[in-house]
Amino acid sequence: MILMKKHILLSIGFATCMLWSPWIAAEPDPERGHARYTYEFPIAGVVCGSCAATVKKAVEASAWAESAKVVKGAAGELPKLVIVANRPALDAAEVQAALGAHSSHYQVQSAAKAIRTP
């Protein structure tokens, strides 16, 4: 992890950053020479495996996405769209736009949270 980002974690508070900052999910990618950031967005409208595959394919076609997957939500929760991206800031509007022609079927929620990666 980049030293500056580590400093920010310490100065702001680890628990707060762990829940809401995509910075803590950064890890260097030796093959590409840049950091990777993991995001988790709740997504409405994904009701089956075909829906999940459609969302995954649309998001992975974006230049900023390295990988994507839809994870089933817990009881009463929306499924989660987990994206590994090559940039430090990603919002729901950008992800929604990446769905292209399918954007009317699925709604990406704005409450993204970073996933801590080992």
Element (H, E) at 116: none
Cα 94 to chain centroid, rounded: 11
> Global pTM?
0.69
Q: Which two tokens stand for residue 37?
A: 């950031």
* CATH number of the domain enclosing 45: 3.30.70.100
Q: Which domain holds residue 57?
A: 3-114
56/37 Cα distance (integer angstroms): 17
Higher pLDDT, 6 or 105: 105
Q: How many domains does the chain have?
A: 1
Name every residue whose Cβ is closer than 8 Å to that of residue 31 and which is 6 or more positions away in sequence: none
Q: pLDDT tens digit string along 55-80?
A: 999 999 999 999 999 999 889 999 99
